[in-house]
Amino acid sequence: MFMTHRRTRLALGVAAVAALALAGCSSGKSTKSAASGSPSSAGSSSPAASASASASASGAWNCGDGGQKITLKIGLFGNFAYKTAGLYDQYQKLCPNITIQEDDIEQSSDYWNKLKTNLAAGSGLDDIQAIEVGFVAQVTANYADKFVDFNTVPNADKIKSTFFPWKWQMATSTDGKTVGLGTDAGPEAMCYRHDLLQQAGMDADRDKLAQDWATWDDFIKFGEQYKQKTGKAFIDSTGSIFNAAVYQSSEAYDNAQGQPDVANSPGVKAAWDLAVKAAQAGITAKINQWTPEWNQSFASGRFATISCPAWMLAYITSQAGDAGKGKWDVTSLPGGSANWGGSWLGVPKGGPHEQAAIALAEWLTAPQQQLTMWNSQGFWPSSQVAAQDPSVQNKTNEYFNNAPIGQIFGKAASELKMPPIGPYDTDIQSALDTELGNIDQNHKDPTKAWNDALAKIKQITG
């Protein structure tokens, strides 16, 4: 979950996203929604539009500008695609006194380093700051007092009710401060090469596979059969198994008190044992994710399966190309639901335009705008209201063999129960992934690898 969200995937361009076969936004005449201020199709009865229309009793959107001309700076990393989706233009028409200016840094790690520095200094902060899943726990643990608490804004309960409960909770500190509003999310499924399974004489039907792969043990057993029949790898890496399975338990890297406790975590040990089992069975392609070799494998068929959050469909499409259309498919993730990716928009306290920034953050993350981001960019909504909209639930993907992605990812998101997270999770995961790679690629003894990982984690957590 805490691996890099890879927002740079969207820099692949419109063609890659269009290949998702996502429907465009409504071209009907727009009206300003009474509550969210969101342009929505006149007469729309979608859940998202209804939620927007009931969010405020005033009947008008409060831009928070006090009648003054304001430039709002929004700090982002990678490509959030708000401008591409037309949301800035919509908001600036809704609020003519507001001008939106992006302060964008390509790499999320560089962005986070700058944000930490500015938070510590109490200066240099933008009016809105994006918060990525990889460092949200550090924000809630160390910087919650420096952000507006969205539990205290007007209509807080109504706003909260539009989000998946787990998404809201992830951005909430132990003393109850919610530091940001969710943008997208990354519910996971299993992407697989339909054609390769068929060629091996094995089941390739997504519904049947969801039953056959109900558990990770079932999945690994199926992979062993595939390897016997073809001599080829079944899954890309141990990371595909470990990083999904670890968050399917009641505890992952942190205990119920939010303290790192890897050595005693049932979730970590169970996921570790599954990944080791896959490595020892020889069913992985023994390659590192996000490398050129890995990218080429989407087209070459070097592996047949990969754990995939909703946003990865566009990435697979771009790497597999036109020749991959209809060869790939999507089914449920073994072992239950998991999440990889997602962000929030936070508002630093005491900024010169705090109220206007809160208003913009609320609008950008409202259900109707999350629908726009799904329909135009393929970002899975963190709004449960938006996720229930027919345009999401009924979505199929032609490239992925007409898989009902709205239903598959919708079920994963609605059933997700996130374990406690902590500020060291990203570094802990990296240490464990490194040692799993040593087992898989360098035949390192699993016991030594486990102990070495724990030693590294102790250095990380102190």
State the pLDDT at residue 218.
99
Helices and strands, number each (H, E), in the chain? 21, 9
| pTM for this prediction | 0.88
Specify the residue for token string 């592996």: 303
DSSP secondary structure, 85-108, as one string: TTHHHHHHHHSTTEEEEEEEESSH
Question: Is the distance from CB of 339 to CB of 165 less than 8 angstroms?
Answer: no
Q: Dig out the tokens for 59 from the structure.
A: 């009947």
Q: How far apart are CA 129 and CA 359, in angstroms?
A: 14
Q: What domains can you pick out in the chain, each with its CATH number?
A: 70-186+342-393 (3.40.190.10), 194-303+423-461 (3.40.190.10)
What type of residue is 443?
H
192-195 own/partner pairs: CB under 8 Å, 24+ apart:
192/304, 192/305, 192/306, 192/328, 192/329, 192/330, 192/331, 193/301, 193/303, 193/304, 193/305, 193/327, 193/328, 193/329, 194/326, 194/327, 194/328, 194/329, 194/401, 195/326, 195/327
State the pLDDT at residue 258.
82
State the pLDDT at residue 43.
32
User: Per-residue pLDDT tens for 386-445?
Assistant: 999 999 999 999 999 999 999 999 999 999 999 999 999 999 999 999 999 999 999 999
Q: Residue 292: helix, strand or coil by DSSP?
A: helix
Q: Dig out the tokens for 447 from the structure.
A: 């016991």
Which residue in 174, 257, 246 sits closest to 216, CA to CA?
246
Q: How far apart are CA 317 and CA 414, in angstroms?
A: 25
State the pLDDT at residue 60.
80
Cα 249 off chain centre by? 18
Which residues of the chain have a pLDDT value below 70?
Answer: 1-59
**Residue 52 to residues 34, 64, 327, 436: CA-CA distances in angstroms?**
7, 18, 39, 46
